[in-house]
Amino acid sequence: MENNFYEKGLKFECRRCSYCCGNGPGFVYLSKADLERFCAHFEMEPIAFVEKYCRWVTYYEGKTVLALIETKKLECVLWNNGCTAYKGRPVQCRTWPFWDWMVKEKADWDECAKDCPGMNSGPVHSKEEIEKAAKEYKENIPLDFEQWQADYL
């Protein structure tokens, strides 16, 4: 990724404020690896985990993919004054705020930082860490329903 604005790194430390976990509707897409990490964390079988915590949503190109559900307050189903699955959280959550589109331009970073108190504070994350997270986020593919059926049903 060619970019100069984060050449010397960016500061970030999660403040556990729940802004990204419950400030409106959204999707936390789960890959197969995310699902397996959650199942290990909660000591649950995939079918039971999906029935309790997930929904199937329409994704790009009309694919149906796995996502976490939200509470009536529009919080992540796993949020309870903190993430109840922090160590097992999915790629989408683990790589925040170093998503490829967010670190592409300083203006995008600054716009997102207006809402996230952890951005621009805390320890500095190196250019290499940022690019690794951005790549992991970009390459993370949500589990689609057809793959779910083939692997788990």
Instruction: Give 105-153 pLDDT, tens digit per residue.
Output: 999 999 999 999 999 999 999 999 999 999 999 999 999 999 999 999 8
As a whole number of angstroms, the distance between CA 73 and CA 32 comes to: 27
> What does pTM read for this prediction?
0.88
Residue at 5 is within a domain: no
Q: Does residue 48 register a pLDDT over 90?
A: yes
Residue at 109 is within a domain: yes
Residue at 2 is within a domain: no
Classify residue 62 as left (phi > 0), alpha (psi -120 to 50) or beta. left
pLDDT at residue 17 in the model: 82
pLDDT at residue 78 in the model: 93
Mean pLDDT of 23-39: 91
Query: Helix crossing, 32-42 with 46-53: angle to 10°?
Result: 90
Structurally, the chain folds into a number of domains equal to 1
pLDDT at residue 2 in the model: 57
Helices marked H in 43-153? 46-53, 91-94, 106-113, 127-139, 145-152
Read off the tokens for 129: 């860490």
Domain that holds residue 34: 10-152
Residue at 1 is within a domain: no
